[in-house]
Structure 1
Amino acid sequence: MTSTDAVRDRPRQRFVTDYAELSQRVRDAGLLRRRPVYYAIRAGLLAAAFAGGVAAFLALGDSWWQLLLAAGLGLLLTQVAYLGHDAAHRQIFVSGRRNELTALLLGNVVVGLSHGWWMSKHSRHHANPNKVDVDPDVEASVLVFTSDVAAERRVRKGFGGWWVRHQGTVFFPLLLLAGLNMHVSGLRTVFGRGRVKFRAVEIPLLLARLVLYPVALFSFLSPGIAAAFLAVQLAVFGVSMGATFAPNHKGMPMIPKDLTLDYLRRQVLTSRNVRGSRFVDVAMGGLNFQIEHHLFPSMPSSTLRAARPIVRQFCAERGVPYTEAGVLESWRIVVGHLNRVGTTNVDLFECPMVSRLRAPA
């Protein structure tokens, strides 16, 4: 190795050491240990809520009051999805197989989302958050996240141009369809040509969940009320999921394809925490501590709040920007960011820390 190579490698070695030191601090605080009692209580409360919901459903009968229950079910399924998310990240059990089985059953049987679809999408996101052409969460589709793609679309005549110029404004109304979209995406994955680890298991489980649930609704309720119940449940589920996940990275620096960052800075610079009370922790499944979750994906969600001051202090010591916002503020940031991207040429890669860490040619 030449002296020039050694000089270039020093920052990389220091960055690796930074994450190792932070990990040690978190480990010494006991925050990476599994919390079986917490998850047992959480699962028990969800099961009790489902049992109460079924009893209320039967008691209400063919009544429009069922729509209140449908909204509650949308929120309850969001909480189950959070629990499945924790299992997929191996936060619940020491055994990877038990975590995987739990995530598979909760996703496919209870929520109706393909475990294979979620794992493929979410794993790629965690590895390279906000990285162009790598992170599936910032791929251009109905919404666009980079000005170059937005510039091509906003000059179009008619609805397409109007849509991209107002994409932030329509973002939250669009989430009303997000639940349906997630179900469709799951089906496309399990019936597609890509690799799905448990395809033979997922297909019957997913079909049973997505077919039997509507059949039960239309068998017990009149067609109009059953259709409304299904629509309300899907809408509430989509909005609650989207309102939790969107503030975590939208409006944070994007990472160009040619830029290499160390793990700690890659995760912290692209993530935003959402400040709030314990109620916010529950409502957002602990994912309001997105920085800590991205740094330590297998950390139980119940200990993320305790990890926050440790991570924040460490980032301050190393000069790494640590971003937080309130709930409403974070939603305004998302809307404003999407509208800016859709109407102006915004440099989404402009970040002093990112610029300094750009890999040498």
Structure 2
Amino acid sequence: MARVIRESGLLNRTPVFYVLMITGLTLALAGAIAGFILLGDSWYQLLIAAALGIILTQFAFIAHEASHRAVFASGRANDRVGRTLANLVGISYAWWMTKHTRHHANPNRIGKDPDIEFDTISFIESDAARQRGFMAALTRRQGWLFFPLLTLEGLNLHVRSFGALLERRPVKGRWIEIGSIALRFGVVLTAVFWMLPLGMAFAFLGVQLAVFGIYMGASFAPNHKGMPIVPADAKLDFLSKQVLTSRNISGGWWASALYGGLNHQVEHHLFPSMPRPHLAKAREIVREHCRTLGLPYTEATMAESYGIVIRYLNRVGLAARDPFDCPMVERFRRT
């Protein structure tokens, strides 16, 4: 399969596509800024805030692809574009590279994949079982609370990535990123609080962060959540490891545009440097290869994938259940 993919030219970069994407998003960002200035003291500013959340997520998608060397042939050019766009979004490129590289190496593997580590949400039963008090109550309902909690994910991404830059460990481009991200937030906060009344300014930031967090979380979560969890000591070949833990989202060009190519998660994990425009064609080759090998290839609609995620998180959350939740046990405990 890898030979067929290489000979098909699907691994060839498509820089023109990404230049056009970046140009279009830059114009959209300029339009949003112009709208922000022209609207002034108006609650319609919340529409601008929502638009910014969407635009910044789209920039984050391209930064993600640049981190995989999928945008340009030159690694240096990819890093420059990736770091610039990630810092524009307010996320550390170095932090993302470290975290995401670990995820790709061992998707859904306990102790190796940072994306299934506990972070408010428990993705494995052992983490859920450790929760107590308020966190246990939240964990038991975490599937239903997943999307409401994503409203805080934008803030969480900003805090965690900036915090990583302050850790006492080697970080490539540490001071460049600290300066860029600090400047970004300085400009944004100054503009928002200078132009808008205090309450409206907080509402603007809240909407922008909420939309950004929901869009980012809703784009990445369906790819692996609810797929098999790999034990720490399991032995899997590369193909099985990537295919069995990944889920595609069905749909045409609209799905690729909405998810930044993440709808083709199986192909992305098998060929992470493949440009977004080629993933749909690679899907046909990969599906046929998996069919030949008898290897399960998972694809679901957008609605189905979110339903799977919610049910999975609720099932995991049962591990946090208080044993005395059982009415009969509770009755004997009181007597």
TM-score, normalised by the number of residues in structure 1: 0.87
Q: C-alpha offsets along residues 130-163 of structure 1, whole Å, 9 cap, x if unaligned? A: 000110001123111222232333xx4x422211
**In terms of mean alpha carbon deviation, does 260-269 or 51-60 score higher?**
51-60
Is 1:96 the counterpart of 2:75 in the alignment?
Answer: yes
Question: Tell me, which stretches of 5 or more residues in structure 2 are unaligned?
Answer: 321-335
What letter corresponds to residue 57 of structure 1 in structure 2?
F
TM-superposed CA distance for 1:344, in Å, is: 5.1
- Which of 129, 132, 137 is the aligned partner of 2:110? 132
2:333 alignment partner in structure 1: none
1:180 alignment partner in structure 2: 155
CA distance in 2, matches of 1:149, 1:35: 42
CA distance in 2, matches of 1:344, 1:207: 41
1:6 alignment partner in structure 2: none
Aligned length: 320
Q: C-alpha offsets along residues 170-211 of structure 1, whole Å, 9 cap, x if unaligned? A: 111000000000000011100111321111211111111122
Is 1:74 the counterpart of 2:53 in the alignment?
Answer: yes
CA distance in 1, matches of 2:210, 2:265: 24
CA distance in 1, matches of 2:30, 2:151: 26
Is 1:196 the counterpart of 2:171 in the alignment?
Answer: yes
Secondary structure at the aligned position of 2:144 is classed as coil
Within 5 Å, give how 1:1-361 maps onto structure 2. 22-108=1-87, 110-153=88-131, 156=132, 158-343=133-318
Kept in 1: contact 2:140–2:317 (CA 8 A) = yes
CA distance in 2, matches of 1:250, 1:302: 25
Kept in 1: contact 2:49–2:207 (CA 8 A) = yes
Kept in 1: contact 2:242–2:269 (CA 8 A) = yes
1:11 alignment partner in structure 2: none
CA distance in 2, matches of 1:102, 1:161: 42
CA distance in 1, matches of 2:279, 2:167: 36
CA distance in 1, matches of 2:169, 2:71: 28
CA distance in 1, matches of 2:30, 2:38: 12
Secondary structure at the aligned position of 1:208 is classed as helix
What letter corresponds to residue 46 of structure 2 in structure 1?
L
TM-superposed CA distance for 1:44, in Å, is: 1.2
What letter corresponds to residue 11 of structure 2 in structure 1?
L
RMSD: 1.2
CA distance in 1, matches of 2:120, 2:316: 13
Question: Tell me, which stretches of 5 or more residues in structure 1 are unaligned?
Answer: 1-21, 346-361
CA distance in 1, matches of 2:7, 2:251: 26
2:332 alignment partner in structure 1: none
TM-score, normalised by the number of residues in structure 2: 0.93
What letter corresponds to residue 88 of structure 1 in structure 2?
S
Where has structure 1 moved over 4 Å in runs of 4 or more?
none
CA distance in 2, matches of 1:228, 1:190: 28
Secondary structure at the aligned position of 1:225 is classed as helix
What letter corresponds to residue 81 of structure 1 in structure 2?
A
Secondary structure at the aligned position of 2:189 is classed as helix
CA distance in 2, matches of 1:162, 1:329: 26
What letter corresponds to residue 125 of structure 1 in structure 2?
H
TM-superposed CA distance for 1:228, in Å, is: 0.8
